[in-house]
């Protein structure tokens, strides 16, 4: 549906890389009070849609900071997601800041008002504070919220989502399959009880020998021993398999038995 | 010690707010494979040093992205921290990218080489890959690594830290009390079994009535009920107490008993 609303870019180039940026909005993340979960959740979801999360910014509940991030990131990515700051309280300023960034006004969305009226009908009614959650940047449409009353908001290539992770999850579910993307990024993992510094050359050589594959190396220290997981990423399943095979052979040849799937 | 190296800014203004930015470097965060822990860890540590984490960016293992973030953030914050990308493998490009951003060369630091030689003496010796971890932007000093061989790096107001959270923790410990900061940001929490939309006006009124205090509202859904935690933040203990008292009274008056410390 969203493709039909203007995301189509003519004949599909199957190798085109679609990118997204994410702005996490909230003092509670920057104060260390709350551990963010939305970066990993949205990144994982985007991969399945064939879209790469290319950059993330965490900004305070501060209009200037939000406006700067929105205008930089929406211009250079296919999609921009935001999380946080769309509740009913005084520190929820995301809608106003994004409207400022876009140079549009803020209006009450009729469908959002109706949704909130229905949701709060048996929960004390639609107060003025609750009605704040029906406010959207002018020209926006809604993203279904399957978990609670207040919907997410879409304006052009900007997707304004809740901060509470399980509500965000429901909004992502509502968007699944509706954004145009490219080939999903595939990945496979090998683990090994080896110091990554022992096999740094092997990793570089194998990556260089396999176009279209990236190898990430993620060291750990467990059970009193050093080890690492190696993640190969590619949009091409055959290349991924070939790269994984070469890496596994190289490790085994060096005397470090690879563990498929990682440790 | 670091104050003596040039962070001092003359007579101290006790109300000056010291800020830091953080760049989290790594494809594994943007792919969703790894849940970042360093934002919360560094934010919490900075608060104790009297420094506010003002903004965070997560960027890929990509030199251009790192350079852009470094040069923007170091200019507008007192301190800049980075995590990730300082290991021995081909995807560890942080040192080279930061040197590029600063317009300086990359050199092998003698003390770092000595540390690594000592650490790897009984672990297979100092290979070329391991020696990569002694490379620093020219003019840098080292940050002690109490957990493993490779040190962190300081260059001016930039602190280049490990990505693995327990190694980062050791580097932060080595820096504790050594960065100039202002008044620590204090916080206190009240929880309440109330929908935040019910008391949005109360929150705004109490915040406005207490200069120098911010109130954050963090809703949740547990045990089949809605509730919220309210966090009051201030650098002034008396103002914080007064604001907390007013908030607690307001909640109790409305029929929602506050739970000190949060739910």
Q: Are residues A98 and A45 in the same domain?
A: yes
Q: Are residues A43 and A146 in the same domain?
A: yes
Q: Is the pLDDT reported for residue B5 higher than 70? A: no
The pLDDT of residue B15 is: 79
Stretch B232-246: mean pLDDT: 95
Instruction: Tell me the residues of chain B between 32 and 71 that have a Cβ less than 8 Å away from chain A.
Output: 32-37, 39-47, 52-61, 65
pLDDT > 70: percent of chain A: 95
Average of per-residue pLDDT values in chain A: 92
Enter the DSSP assignment of A35. Answer: -
Q: Are B162 and B86 in contact (CB under 8 A)?
A: yes
B148 at A interface, C-beta within 8 A: yes
> HSE (CB half, 13 Å, CA atoms) of A153?
30
Q: What ipTM score was computed for the predicted complex, to two decimals?
A: 0.89
Q: Are residues B81 and B203 in the same domain?
A: no
Integer CA distances (angstroms), A189 to A146, A206, A241, B61, B72, in order: 34, 14, 11, 18, 35
What's A36's domain CATH number? Answer: 3.40.980.10
Stretch B167-191: mean pLDDT: 93
Residue of A nearest to B185 (CA): A31
Integer CA distances (angstroms), B169 to A29, B101, B143, in order: 18, 26, 12
Per the domain annotation, does A180 fall within a domain?
Answer: no
B177 at A interface, C-beta within 8 A: no
A123 at B interface, C-beta within 8 A: yes
Q: Are residues B164 and B252 in the same domain?
A: no
B209 at A interface, C-beta within 8 A: no
What's B251's domain CATH number? Answer: 3.30.70.2860
Q: Is the pLDDT reported for residue A1 higher than 80? A: no
The reply to whether residue A55 touches residue B65, judged by beta carbons under 8 angstroms, is yes
Per the domain annotation, does B180 fall within a domain?
Answer: no
Q: Are residues B205 and B161 in the same domain?
A: no
Which of these three, A108, A141, A175, is where a domain ends? Answer: A175
What count of other Cβ atoms lies within 10 Å of the Cβ of residue A130?
A: 25
The pLDDT of residue B149 is: 82
Q: Are residues A207 and A103 in the same domain?
A: no
Task: Read off φ and ψ for residue A23, nearest 5 degrees.
Answer: -115, 115
The pLDDT of residue A9 is: 46
Q: What domain range is B113 assigned to?
A: 3-175
Q: Residue A185 — very low, low, confident or very high, per pLDDT cuts 50/70/90?
A: confident
Q: How far apart are CA A43 and CA B29, in angstroms?
A: 8
Q: How far apart are CA A172 and CA A191, in angstroms?
A: 31
Average of per-residue pLDDT values in chain B: 92
List all residues 6 or more positions away from B195 whose beta carbon is below 8 Å from its beta carbon.
Answer: A123, A124, B219, B226, B228
Which of these three, A175, A197, A216, is where a domain ends? Answer: A175
Nearest partner of B31 among A184, A121, A196, A1, judged by Cα: A184
Q: Are residues A232 and A171 in the same domain?
A: no
Enter the DSSP assignment of A192. Answer: E
Enter the DSSP assignment of B143. Answer: E
Q: How far apart are CA A230 and CA A250, in angstroms?
A: 13
Q: Is the pLDDT reported for residue A132 higher than 50? A: yes
Specify the number of domains making up chain A. 2
The three state secondary structure string of A109-166 is CHHHHHHHHHHHCCCCCCCHHHHHHHEEECCCEEECCCCCCCCEEEECCEEEECCCHH
Per the domain annotation, does B22 fall within a domain?
Answer: yes
Q: Is the pLDDT reported for residue B163 higher than 50? A: yes
| Disruptive mutation site among A200, A250, A251, A255 for chain B (greatest number of B CBs within 10 Å) | A200
Q: Are residues A152 and A76 in the same domain?
A: yes
Nearest partner of A138 among A98, A105, A102, A93, judged by Cα: A105
Q: Are residues B61 and B100 in the same domain?
A: yes
Per the domain annotation, does A151 fall within a domain?
Answer: yes
Read off the pLDDT of residues A15-73 as tens digits, 9 standing for 90 and up.
799 999 999 999 999 999 999 999 999 999 999 999 999 999 999 999 999 999 999 99
Is the dihedral angle over the CA atoms A25, A31, A37, A43 positive or is it negative? Answer: positive
Q: Are A21 and B60 in contact (CB under 8 A)?
A: no
Which of these three, A152, A175, A198, is where a domain ends? Answer: A175
Q: Are residues B42 and B146 in the same domain?
A: yes
Per the domain annotation, does A181 fall within a domain?
Answer: no
Buried b (16+ CB within 10 A) or exposed e, A172-200: beebeeebbbbeebbbbbbbbebbbbbbb
Q: Are residues B232 and B128 in the same domain?
A: no
Q: What is the largest CA-CA distance in chain B?
A: 69
The pLDDT of residue B12 is: 65
Segment of A118-127, B11-20, B206-215 carrying the highest mean pLDDT: B206-215
H or E stretch including A226?
Answer: strand A225-234
Q: Is the pLDDT reported for residue B101 higher than 80? A: yes
Q: Are residues B21 and B80 in the same domain?
A: yes
């Amino acid at each position: 549906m969203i493709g039909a609303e203007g995301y189509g870019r003519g004949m599909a180039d199957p190798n085109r890389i679609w990118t997204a940026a994410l702005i996490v909005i909230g003092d509670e993340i920057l104060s260390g009070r709350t551990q963010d979960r939305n970066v990993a959740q949205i990144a994982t979801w985007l991969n399945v849609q064939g879209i790469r999360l290319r950059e993330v910014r965490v900004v305070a509940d501060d209009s200037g900071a939000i406006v700067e991030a929105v205008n930089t990131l929406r211009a250079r990515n296919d999609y921009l997601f935001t999380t946080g700051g769309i509740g009913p309280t005084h520190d929820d300023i995301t809608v106003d800041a994004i409207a400022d960034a876009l140079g549009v006004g803020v209006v009450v969305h009729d469908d959002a008002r109706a949704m909130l009226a229905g949701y709060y009908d048996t929960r004390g009614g639609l107060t003025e504070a609750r009605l704040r959650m029906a406010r959207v940047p002018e020209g926006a449409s809604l993203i279904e919220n399957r978990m609670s009353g207040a919907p997410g908001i879409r304006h052009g290539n900007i997707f304004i989502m809740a901060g509470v992770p399980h509500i965000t999850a429901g909004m992502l579910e509502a968007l699944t399959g509706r954004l145009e993307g490219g080939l999903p990024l595939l990945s496979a993992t090998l683990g090994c009880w080896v110091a990554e510094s022992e096999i740094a050359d092997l990793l570089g050589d194998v990556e260089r020998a396999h176009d279209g594959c990236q190898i990430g190396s993620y060291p750990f220290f467990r059970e009193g021993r050093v080890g690492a997981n190696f993640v190969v990423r590619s949009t091409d399943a055959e290349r991924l398999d070939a790269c994984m095979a070469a890496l596994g052979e190289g490790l085994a040849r060096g005397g470090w038995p690879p563990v498929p799937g990682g440790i």
